[in-house]
Amino acid sequence: MKYFFALLLCVTTLNLFAQVTQKRDEKLIQDVQERYSVLADSPSIRHGFYQAIYRKKTVIASGRYERGKRVGMWHYYSKTGQLLQNYDYDKHAIVYSSPVDTMRSVRYIIDDEIKPNDAIAPPIKPGSVYFGYMPYVKLIQMPAGLEEFDYTTLVATVELLVSPGGRLADFKIRITRPGGFININKVADMPLDAIEPEDKIFLPASKNGQNVGMTIIVTCRFDSRGRVLF
């Protein structure tokens, strides 16, 4: 029996050692900081409580990681602190979604004919319309050769094609200059490998109750220094 307890103590000690974490505080995008922990013996693996904070005062996302995966209930908020969505990662289900879970900078395009009485539901991203799109927005970079332009006149769009099954099928970043004398239209096809597996999953769009593919367009601008504003 004493050997059993000795073995149990050893296993428990090893398990506790494996759970030792280190805190991180990093910029996610302009105006948004991440606060989270990683495993001490695996610094690339997030583990424990997570927060994303807008301008150092407003929490826009909170939840827990378990060895690199989001688990349990996560809460997502707008930049003003209004609750937008509660998402249960254990059940892969939206528990709550605010009726104002929309942003003017996010729009949807369906590659199909729409009749006046059709019921259309856009794809839904776990994380809502603000925090949910940051994994793609943070990959926007100012292309070379545009240094002579006023950055505030440029527009960046993230274009996400979501399949009828709710999977990210294509990802593009486009830089344009609307209304300018010199036309700018630079497009980069982004590798899907640059996206974490959990950020390739959506609740699919539907038309009259049937799943359909749809493109999500997320529009961002730049400040005078070429930093992305979202």
- The CA distance from 192 to 48, in Å, is 26
Of 164, 173, 171, 165, nearest to 220 by C-alpha is: 173
Domain boundary among 100, 130, 159: 100
**pTM for this predicted structure:** 0.85
- The whole-number pLDDT of residue 113 equals 87
Pick the last residue of a domain from 76, 100, 124: 100
Q: What's the rounded Cα separation, in Å, for the pair 66 and 38? A: 10
| Residue-number span of the structural domain to which 81 is assigned | 20-100
Q: Report if residue 84 sits inside a domain.
A: yes
- Asked if residue 88 belongs to a domain, the reply is yes
Is the domain of 165 the same as that of 94? no
89/195 same-domain check: no
State pLDDT tens for residues 19-50: 798 999 999 999 999 999 999 999 999 999 99
What's the structural domain count of the chain? 2
Are residues 84 and 62 in contact, defined by beta-carbon separation less than 8 angstroms? no
What confidence score (pLDDT) does residue 103 get?
65
Q: Which residue has the higher pLDDT, 218 or 1?
A: 218
**HSE-CB of 136 using CA atoms within 13 angstroms:** 34
Which positions ≥6 away from 55 have C-beta within 8 Å? 31
179: in domain:
yes
